[in-house]
Amino acid sequence: MKLGQVDLNLLVVLDAVLREKNVTRAAESLHLSQPATSTALARLRRVLGDELLYKNGRYMELTPRAESLIEPVREVLATIEQTIVRPPVFDPTRDARRFSVVASDYVGVTLIRPLIARLSGLATDLRLDAAPVGSRYLDALQRDEVDVAILPDQIVDQRSLSDCSQLPVITDRFVGAVWREHPRAEDRLTAELLSASPYLEYVVEGRRSIVEEQLDAVGCTRRVAATASGFVPMPFMLAGTDMVAVLPERLARRVAGAADIRLLEPQMDLQPLRQSAFWHSRRDRDPGHVWLREQLSVVAREEAEPAPGITVTGSS
């Protein structure tokens, strides 16, 4: 293989193929046509003398050579992006930039929405792409494929993110929530109310959710009547029912009126929900990324202020 046979565009395609293990998905991620991506893959196969991707039953698999290239290719592209492609300064009023953020629906409402509003008020050529926290969020961070991932501190294994930097952005309480006309709920979330009422459970694919772990730890029994995979729809599922839910206070306050719910002060000791922004440390000195983190910090401070006019029932 001669170095002159490999151009940057081929390496970009190779990185996408190694990541997706699928030509169609690789093409979609690169905003290329499938024929163009297939042509690039064929050229890569000739240059590298390896199939790279092969069919194994119903699925596509990487060859051992392809597996060995995953980290080196990502490292090369990330280095080029951070040291050569990125300009040495960033002007948000003039420069075009596309930022990628991985976050839950709760973070989307409480932090990403005001961040987008702030960015749209500062510049016209900035774009923020938000994606849910999927099963590959850890790989995406380790491979420096996203600008920022905002995650609960409790679920993050710091040893797995030794190459990443961290910025705390959210500290929130858990509170009870019921329909405004709930027939039995008074002013506090108690273990008795939880055990006697149908319960709306927050579920997370692949693991026990933070709120459910905490309720288990303090010995609160629940009779699950329904489940939801995101915090955002939960308040709107309570109206007209006897269900009780436990929600982050910041979200619950924002939607209490629209969802026709009231908030209950927890009688049990629940630990706060803390979330941080994580990014690959390779981006620490990227001027555009530094600017994004500054905006995120400003929004986090502003959004930490209590919402006016809404109180938690039973709070002092």
pLDDT tens-digit readout, 165-182: 999 999 999 999 999 999
| DSSP string of the chain, one letter each residue | --GGG--HHHHHHHHHHHHHSSHHHHHHHHT--HHHHHHHHHHHHHHHTS--EEEETTEEEE-HHHHHHHHHHHHHHHHHIIIIIS-SS--TTT--EEEEEE--HHHIIIIIHHHHHHHHHH-SSEEEEEE---TTHHHHHHTT-SSEEEEEGGG--GGGGTTEEEEEEEEE-EEEEEETT-SS--SEE-HHHHHHSEEEEE-BTTB--HHHHHHHHTT---EEEEEESSTTTGGGG-TTS--EEEEEHHHHHHHHHHHTEEEEEESS--PPEEEEEEEEGGGTT-HHHHHHHHHHHHHHHHHTSPPTT---BT--
Q: Which residues, in sequence order, are CB contacts of 40 under 8 Å at separation 6+?
A: 9, 10, 13
Residue 87 vs residue 279, higher pLDDT: 279
1-27 tens-digit pLDDT: 555 666 778 899 999 999 889 999 999
Mean pLDDT estimate for the chain = 88
Measured between alpha carbons, how far is residue 222 from residues 167, 192, 199, 298 in Å?
35, 10, 6, 39
Query: Residue 316: pLDDT band by 50, 70, 90 thresholds?
Result: very low
What pLDDT sits at residue 29?
85
Retrieve residue 156's tokens.
Answer: 């993050």
Contact criterion met (CB below 8 Å) for 18 and 70: yes
Measured between alpha carbons, how far is residue 135 from residues 138, 151, 205 in Å?
8, 13, 9
First to last CA, the chain: 72
Q: Is the pLDDT of residue 291 over 50?
A: yes
Radius of gyration of the chain (CA): 23
Q: Which residues, in sequence order, are CB contacts of 276 under 8 Å at separation 6+?
A: 150, 151, 153, 156, 166, 167, 168, 169, 170
Q: How far apart are CA 301 and CA 304, in angstroms?
A: 5
What pLDDT sits at residue 104?
93
What pLDDT sits at residue 2?
57
Q: How far apart are CA 270 and CA 192, in angstroms?
A: 16
Q: How are beta strands 126-131 and 59-62 bridged, if at all?
A: unpaired
Q: What is the pTM of this model?
A: 0.77
Q: How far apart are CA 239 and CA 59, in angstroms?
A: 45
58-68 tens-digit pLDDT: 888 999 999 99
